[in-house]
Amino acid sequence: MHRNPVVISPEAQSIFSEIGGSLERQGDMLYEVLSSLVEEVRAPMEEDDTWAIEILRGGGGVHRNSRLMVDYITSMREACASMHNCAPSNNTVNLRDPVDDTMEYLEDLLQRKSELCSDPSLRYMFLLNNSHFVAQVSKPSVSLYLEQWSELKLAPECKKFMDSYLDVSWGHVLSCIPKSRFPGPIHCWINTSSLAKFESAFQKTYRAQKF
């Protein structure tokens, strides 16, 4: 069945053009709002002098500032997704910049604040928990637009922090188990002595790790 092509009148084209221009301006305004928000939230994060105390008090758990920053990131992403769904354009690509910048800033912030911990075990526990939290909460949603985001790049960082934590916290415990090849009674004596050292080191480390 043959259909005649739809002809859009000049008046309709003008209306669509005005709507498109309005949406473009709204996109520019949203970009400015997001950029300003990014700058505003950084100052309190940097000036907060309770990082070290709260990291110790929380046993290296997810910090309240991490939760706050993730809330900001989630809100910005939802705003970008709404703009994209209303009017897909190059503006939505530009709108990703403030969000990406905030993600990178949060990664750097966690690294720098973790250095306030004098205990390396606590430091890597803090980095592991907070990086894992950010990676999980920042996973893309089912939205086709949000699936284009790639915040899962933090996953390798979590693995690195886990390995570092195990190394600094439990490495010396495992070293108490030598691989002896001596036969007979000497082998039994070494195993008994090593087991005692291992149990002592394990209990000491276990108590220390119960933050």
Each residue of 37-52: b (16+ CB within 10 Å) or e?
A: bbeebbeebeeeeebe
What tokens appear for 118 in the block?
């004098």
- Same structural domain, 46 and 128: yes
**The token pair that represents 195 in the structure block:** 């087991």
41 with 66, same domain?
yes
Let me know whether 79 and 29 are in one domain: yes
pTM: 0.65
Residues of the chain with pLDDT under 70: 1-31, 83-84, 86-93, 95, 137-155, 171-195, 198, 201-202, 205-211
Residue 145: the pLDDT is 44
What is the token pair recorded at 87? 């009017």
Same domain, 148 and 112: yes
157 with 199, same domain: the answer is: no
- Are residues 91 and 158 both part of a single domain? yes
Instruction: Work out the angle at residue 55's Cα, subtended by the Cα atoms of residues 50 and 56, and round it to the nearest 5 degrees.
Output: 105
Overall size of the chain counted in residues: 211
**Domain interval for residue 194:** 175-211
Q: State whether 162 and 201 are in the same domain.
A: no
Q: What is the pLDDT of residue 82?
A: 73
DSSP state of 207: H
H helices present in the chain, as ranges: 10-47, 51-57, 64-86, 90-94, 96-114, 120-137, 155-174, 184-209
What pLDDT does 41 receive? 82
Q: Residue 17: CB partners within 8 Å, gap ≥ 6?
A: none
Task: For residues 112 and 196, state if they share a domain.
Answer: no
pLDDT at 9: 56
Per-residue confidence (pLDDT) for residue 193, from 0 to 100: 63
Same domain, 123 and 78: yes
